Amino acid sequence: MDPPTCQAMYGGNRHKAKPWRFRQRLKPCISGAMALLENTKSLSAFCQNATGESYIAVDTEFIRDKTFYSRLCLVQIATENQAVAIDPLAPDIDLSPLFGLMTNKNVLKVFHAARQDVEIFLHLSGHIPVPLFDTQVAAMVCGFGESVGFDAIVAKLAGARIDKSQRFTDWARRPLKRKQIDYALADVIHLRPVYEKISACLHENGRTEWLEEEMAILTEPRSYILNSKDAWQRLKFRNTKPRFLAILQELAAWREEEARSRDVPRNHILRDDVLVELASLVPRSTQELDHGRGFPRKQADTSLGRAVLDAVARGTARSPDDCPQPLGKPHLLPGLRPVVELLKVLLKTNSEAHGVAQKLIASTADLEMIATDDDADVPALHGWRWDLFGADALALKHGELALTVEKNQVALVKQI
């Protein structure tokens, strides 16, 4: 998709739509002051004025190298006439006005790649910013490719280049320099024209509801809460024996809760590889624990060692029916792997024809599940993805649709 035109959202002989052009002339993003807000009074005044905006562009800067939860270091917001950086680390600031603005249903909050930002606001305030618009997801709906980067989309739609000079800055260090603030504000300033152009593209091609489905997932609190009993699924291991998995599940759950309560990174409690090793060794005493290669020396007879032994004992005591099942891809019966390959071709064909990123429609794991089960619980068989790909996928699987080549392009042929 090359500016100033947005490619046709549908292609081929089956679908037709006019290419969308960026016709509107945008106002300058920011015509007013840019400021650093360091006290509650100035923050409250800004947030009160912002309630009259139809939308605001939002971004954050944070660090997470020494904590379990991200430490919010800066919040940037751009309205039509003003861009501000809010310092959450300032001693004289209460973020309540900001949290109120984030949940004001009359003001749309525009982010790019919003998930981490949303998680921060949820942790600090207990609420998710709503309503919400994620330009990264919207870009994938509009055919900009897989997880398009912010600098690329700004270059294409705003005709600007993102400054990378402060990319690795320590945002927790005070005082902030002027060039750091300018760097941080540039993102939300450029985000405004990006949003306006992508939003217009969505409306022009009737895909607003598609994005709303994705935003419903992004604003669901359960999307950000990891059940400690599922923490083992994040680890890398090869052993699939039920008893090993039960012990690993208990160890990972204990570590998750411990790291969360102490607000430290998981690996500051015990590294991933150590958990896997302990689940394999099954230590039952402080002596056996102390002989493990990865476990910290002279820690077996401490609260850490006792907590590990308790977790191992819980996993060992579980009944076979209560042990986790191995994670993995669905078992593909003989002959189904070629079916998956055909589904991949179909996915690529339909994604290009409709101008939607493949990643947003279905993953390889989704295709394997579809090949195995017509009623697979995957997004591709529901909502707009069903119309775009799911219906064709099942038709291809059952011989009601064929793939051929016409004029050097893959074409779909309905079987009579």
Average pLDDT of the segment spanning 9-28: 36
Domain end marker among 209, 224, 239: 224
For the chain, the domain total comes to 3
Question: CA nearest 57: which of 196, 191, 202, 218?
Answer: 191
pLDDT at 14: 36
CATH value at residue 292: 1.10.150.80
On whether residue 318 sits in a domain, the answer given is yes
Domain hosting 201: range is 5-224
Domain end marker among 287, 322, 357: 322
Distances (CA, A) of 112 to 59, 192, 374: 8, 11, 35
pLDDT in tens, 131-161: 999 999 999 998 887 767 888 899 888 888 8
CATH value at residue 144: 3.30.420.10
For the whole model, what pTM was predicted? 0.84
228 close to 281: Cβ distance less than 8 angstroms: no
Q: Tell me what the pLDDT averaged over the chain comes to.
A: 88
Between CA 232 and CA 315 the distance in angstroms is: 12
187 with 206, same domain: the answer is yes
Between CA 203 and CA 191 the distance in angstroms is: 18
Nearest 5°: phi and psi at 171? -75, -10
20 with 152, same domain: the answer is yes
243 with 111, same domain: the answer is no
Domain end marker among 224, 243, 272: 224
pLDDT in tens, 219-276: 999 889 889 999 999 999 989 899 999 999 999 999 999 999 999 999 999 999 999 9
232 with 218, same domain: the answer is no
On whether residue 331 sits in a domain, the answer given is no
Average pLDDT of the segment spanning 96-106: 98
176 with 270, same domain: the answer is no
202 with 281, same domain: the answer is no
181 with 144, same domain: the answer is yes
pLDDT at 94: 98
Distances (CA, A) of 12 to 62, 250, 308: 45, 53, 60
212 with 235, same domain: the answer is no
On whether residue 273 sits in a domain, the answer given is yes
pLDDT at 145: 75
Q: Judge whether residue 9 has pLDDT over 80.
A: no
pLDDT in tens, 25-84: 334 344 455 689 999 999 999 999 999 999 999 999 999 989 999 999 999 999 999 999
CATH value at residue 371: 1.10.150
29-38, 100-109, 164-173, 205-214: which range is least confident on average?
Answer: 29-38
251 with 380, same domain: the answer is no
51 with 175, same domain: the answer is yes
157 with 192, same domain: the answer is yes
On whether residue 330 sits in a domain, the answer given is no
